């Protein structure tokens, strides 16, 4: 897979060229008028307008609804050097936004011009997700190239994601380098965490909230904090480190809480971090109905999993957000702070803000917006490509 590797062309249907022309990286199967030559899955093809004008190049997978993922809009070869150059630009961007940071997302799929490739760095260990056939087929090129660019010693694969089915791929996980200890130590915003890259959720740690966690630095001093959906305690440890008097971390997963306990201890905060294994919906409902608990917290953090993976289930997701935000608002003292987040792709920023506002209204609370943020800059959002933006993050103070 070296040299110039264009294997045919795809002509788009008339009137269906605008999105690709505007720089959006997805071409749907239904938008294709004609396949020229006989490209097979993973091959790079020229993408042409209905009249045959060059639009760009991308790789194909005819098994997928998204039949082409665009790689370039320039008339340039898409060869091994192209992939290495694009990986190197991704690493360069990280060095610019967070010099010296060793635990961050290195490649964010479309956001880095490498659709279908996700790579998280945990210091000298890289965790790869190959989400599309086009990227899966290039693993032998991508893994060593990125390890070298980042100075990594270890690599692990966590392509155990459902969406690979849409690409005709099986789920896959395991070592991509010589076996090593899968419990990795990282530093995030000056705090230490252990990340289990084999059994952890996704690639092990939710790096997309790294900058948002740091944004809490000025708001935690002396506060009584409730961290809901705590997972391995990333927010809880930050809150304790930023001076919280007491933190209660709630999660439904016993193994996540066990790791949270270890992380709190690693930072010397075990005396201030308490762990509760519970369903957050039940926990909040019970607390919000108890007169002693109402108005007794200074900070409530809500960082739930995506409530919807499909567009159709958006309504029920919104009900979920409404419920937890309403209960959290009931639990907060005057001057208390609500930290609330959503990572559902199908709930946009405006809709999320509206749900939170309606929860505050129903709780009879007025609030000042302290922070209105999104995913960290190591998860780049492309202008004009709303699909690359998913994380919403608000910090509100009850006034
Ligand atoms: N706040 C975390 C990430 C949360 S991921 C961080 O900063 O790292 C979502 C977490 O919610 C997972 O740990 C999952 O176990 C937990 N979870 C999912 N549904 C839950 C529920 N109903 N009650 C409690 N925890 C839940």
Share of the chain above pLDDT 90, in %: 96
How do beta strands 332-342 and 297-302 pair?
Answer: parallel
Q: Is the pLDDT of residue 312 over 90?
A: no
- From CA 177, how far away is CA 288, in angstroms rounded? 49
- Delimit the CATH 2.30.130.10 region(s) of the chain: 6-72
Share of the chain above pLDDT 70, in %: 99
- Delimit the CATH 3.40.50.150 region(s) of the chain: 206-398
- Delimit the CATH 3.30.750.80 region(s) of the chain: 80-182
- From CA 109, how far away is CA 111, in angstroms rounded? 5
Confidence category of residue 233, pLDDT binned at 50, 70, 90: very high
pLDDT at 308: 76
Phi, psi of 298 (to 5 degrees): -95, -20
Count the Cβ atoms, other than its own, within 10 Å of residue 29. Answer: 14
Sheet strand arrangement including 32-36: 26-28, 66-72, 54-60, 44-48, 6-12, 32-36
Domain 6-72: homologous superfamily in CATH:
PUA domain (2.30.130.10)
- From CA 269, how far away is CA 263, in angstroms rounded? 9
Confidence category of residue 313, pLDDT binned at 50, 70, 90: confident
pTM recorded for the entire structure: 0.97
Query: Closest ligand 1 atom to the C-alpha of 283?
Result: 23
- Was domain 80-182 assigned CATH 3.40.50.10420? no
The DSSP letter of residue 387 is G
Q: Is the pLDDT of residue 274 over 60?
A: yes
Active site residue 343: yes
Helix, strand, or coil (residue 318): helix
Nearest CA owner, ligand 1 atom 16: 229
Ligand 1 binding pocket mutation candidate from 194, 200, 252, 275 (most atoms within 8 A of CB):
252
The top-level CATH class assigned to 206-398 is: alpha beta
Query: pLDDT tens digits, residue range 287-305?
Result: 999 999 999 999 999 999 9
- Ligand 1 in contact with 256 (CB < 6 A)? yes
pLDDT at 391: 98
**What's the CA-to-centroid distance between 203 and ligand 1, angstroms?**
15
Query: pLDDT tens digits, residue range 99-131?
Result: 999 999 999 999 999 999 999 999 999 999 999
Query: Closest ligand 1 atom to the C-alpha of 256?
Result: 13
- Asked if 353 and 394 touch (Cβ cutoff 8 Å), the reply is yes
- Ligand 1 in contact with 234 (CB < 6 A)? yes
How do beta strands 297-302 and 224-228 pair?
Answer: parallel
């Amino acid at each position: 897979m070296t040299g110039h590797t264009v294997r045919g062309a795809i002509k788009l249907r008339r009137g269906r060229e605008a999105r690709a022309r505007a720089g959006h990286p997805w071409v749907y199967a239904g938008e294709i008028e004609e396949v020229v030559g006989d490209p097979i899955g993973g091959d790079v093809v020229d993408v042409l307008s209905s009249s045959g004008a060059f639009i760009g190049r991308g790789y194909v997978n005819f098994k997928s609804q998204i039949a082409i993922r665009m790689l370039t809009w320039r008339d340039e070869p898409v060869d091994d050097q192209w992939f290495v150059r694009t990986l190197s630009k991704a690493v360069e961007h990280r060095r610019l936004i967070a010099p010296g940071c060793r635990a961050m997302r290195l490649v964010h799929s479309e956001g880095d011009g490498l659709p279908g490739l996700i790579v998280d760095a945990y210091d000298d260990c890289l965790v790869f997700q190959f989400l599309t056939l086009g990227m899966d087929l290039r693993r032998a090129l991508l893994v060593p190239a990125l390890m070298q660019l980042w100075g990594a010693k270890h690599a692990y694969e966590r392509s155990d994601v459902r969406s690979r089915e849409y690409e005709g791929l099986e789920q896959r996980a395991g070592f991509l380098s010589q076996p090593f200890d899968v419990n990795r130590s990282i530093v995030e915003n000056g705090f230490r965490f252990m990340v289990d890259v084999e059994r952890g959720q996704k690639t092990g740690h939710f790096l997309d909230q790294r900058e948002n966690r740091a944004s809490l630095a000025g708001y935690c001093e002396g506060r009584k904090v409730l961290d809901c959906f705590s997972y391995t305690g990333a927010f809880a440890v930050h809150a304790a480190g930023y001076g919280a008097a007491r933190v209660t971390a709630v999660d439904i997963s016993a193994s996540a809480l066990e790791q949270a306990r270890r992380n709190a201890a690693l930072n010397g905060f075990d005396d201030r971090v308490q762990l509760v294994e519970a369903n957050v919906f039940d926990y909040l409902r019970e607390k919000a109905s108890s007169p002693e608990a109402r108005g007794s917290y200074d900070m409530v953090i809500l960082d739930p999993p995506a409530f919807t993976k499909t567009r159709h289930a958006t309504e029920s997701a919104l009900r979920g957000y409404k419920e937890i935000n309403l209960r959290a608002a009931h639990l907060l003292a005057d001057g208390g702070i609500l930290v609330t987040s959503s990572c559902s792709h199908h709930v946009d920023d405006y809709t999320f803000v509206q749900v939170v506002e309606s929860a505050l209204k129903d709780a009879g609370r007025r609030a000042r917006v302290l922070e209105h943020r999104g995913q960290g800059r190591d998860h780049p959002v492309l202008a004009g490509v709303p699909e690359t933006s998913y994380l919403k993050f608000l910090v509100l103070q009850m006034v």
